[in-house]
Structure 1
Amino acid sequence: MENNSSRALSISGATRLYAVVGDPVAQVRAPSLLNPLFAALGLNSVLFPVHVRPDAFAEVFQGLRKTDNLDGILVTIPHKAAALGLADEVSPAAAASGAVNALRREPDGRWTGENFDGIGFVTGLTEAGHRPEGMRVTVVGSGGAGSAIAAALLSAGVARVSLYDPDTGRLDALVARLDAYWPGRAEGTRTPVFTDADLVVNATPLGMRADDPLPFDPRDLPPRCVVADVIMKPRETGLLRAAAALGHPVLYGAPMLDHQLDLYRTFFRLVEAVEAVEAVEPVEAGEAVAPEGTGQ
């Protein structure tokens, strides 16, 4: 099939839709990654951002799932935990983390939830030369991203994950879920534990805005501790800038998403979609286009 990147800009009545839902959404990179992928595959599909406040998320989600030409939903801050409860079924990885960041419409109309944040983060960490096996890790933030990262790190063999979140109810629930899968290797703390950490992860939204305070003081970290941030825009957050100035290796947020592209390709069954497009004769595709002035 001809690779036509301009196809992503050609929206028609037959275009299949994908949404990325968050609050805010101005920082999301998913459209700039997924739309070129759709175009490269020759699919008449588009991913668009949807800005939804937390108090409206359930209502908007129910509307989206009833949209017949919507095939998938990506979920970002702060809705990943809420999305878990709205999916019809979820993967073991999503259940362990208590959050989903991708949902797929099934042929029967049900929605399946998955979480790729954790494996995307671990892949980026490993490719940066930091192997997780045996690491002692502190994760600040137990929301959707933090919970997924904690679960993936435990699965990858870290020795211990210490989690901190001022929302103690959410924190305790996450530790209980993780302990069911990896007994004795996850702990919740009322203050962040940095003393012997090999890796510290900011999994909070702090750093998205220029006037945000630092989520923690990098001067409290042990020497050469790796500092990672899940925030993708700006690329260099205040935390990473301060940590690098103190000599800490840093890990940017973008690789967590970049390494999810192949996972999305499989999860959303894009290969099958390409095969379905290729099976349609060109004349059939032409006949499906309404004459000018007859459509909406």
Structure 2
Amino acid sequence: MPHKKAIVPLLDDITPEAEIVGAVNTVFYHANGRLQGTILDGEGFVHGLINEGYTVSGSHCVLAGAGGAASAIAFSLLKQGCDRLYVQNRTQAKAIELVKRLKRTFPEKNIQAYVPDNQMFDIAINGTKLGMSEEDDLPFSESIIQRSNLIAECVLAPDMTKLLMTAKASGKQIHKGKHMLQAQLDLMLRFMGVDL
């Protein structure tokens, strides 16, 4: 996970989305020896939602995280028509920096580096690694979980994270991290020139 940003300067070129996000998770070695990188976390996440019947356009979302995966997810949510995006991060300065980058690309969108106490959310997304270990804290407060219609996860394993179990026990709809990975596989093949 931490190498998504560190590898960028080593590549010959990156896609526009990867440039805005500042990270890559897929590198293609071209026949001419050039290395091209892209980030598919965000697009994969959004396609995973859509494939499961959820709508992003017009949605109000809250996102935990400001790293490579979370940045890509934020970009793709806004690109697909998310109307309001609230970013929370353990380090507030990183959330503010992400919001500044997003506002340069999406100046018409309502993007904030805080989460209002009374806001209802269509989707709450964990874009952090919290949940990989059962000892991890929840990425969201119980209040945010209660104010969200759908709780979505990026963590692949375990299949049912503490966040998803908490949300399910509260009667919330849940979206597992595996849907992001499944959608990314097709996107990865297309990026590498494989016809599907």
Q: Which of 124, 130, 134 lines up with 2:58 in the alignment?
A: 134
Gaps of 5+ in 2: none
Shift of 1:224: 5.3
Q: Aligned-residue CA RMSD in angstroms?
A: 1.8
Please list, as runs of the form range in 1=range in 2, the aligned pairs for 1:1-296 lying within 5 A after superposition: 77-185=1-109, 186-189=111-114, 192-193=115-116, 195-223=119-147, 225-270=149-194
Partners of 2:21 and 2:116 lie apart in 1 by 21
Shift of 1:184: 4.3
Q: Give the equivalent residue in structure 2 for 1:50.
A: none
Q: 1:251/1:193 Cα in 2 relative to 1: closer, same or farther (>3 Å)?
A: farther
Secondary structure in structure 2 of the residue aligned to 1:225: strand
Assess if the C-alpha contact under 8 Å between 2:62 and 2:125 holds in 1: yes
Shift of 1:160: 1.2
Partners of 2:116 and 2:52 lie apart in 1 by 24
Assess if the C-alpha contact under 8 Å between 1:227 and 1:243 holds in 2: yes
Secondary structure in structure 1 of the residue aligned to 2:86: strand
TM-score, normalised relative to structure 1: 0.61
TM-score, normalised relative to structure 2: 0.90
Partners of 2:36 and 2:91 lie apart in 1 by 28
If asked which structure has higher relative contact order (CA below 8 Å, sep 6+), I would say 2
Gaps of 5+ in 1: 1-76, 272-296
Secondary structure in structure 1 of the residue aligned to 2:54: coil
Assess if the C-alpha contact under 8 Å between 1:162 and 1:188 holds in 2: yes
Shift of 1:215: 1.4
Assess if the C-alpha contact under 8 Å between 1:79 and 1:144 holds in 2: no
Shift of 1:144: 0.9
Matching residue's letter, 1:179:
K
Aligned residue pair count:
193
Shift of 1:255: 0.8
Matching residue's letter, 1:188:
A
Assess if the C-alpha contact under 8 Å between 1:226 and 1:248 holds in 2: yes
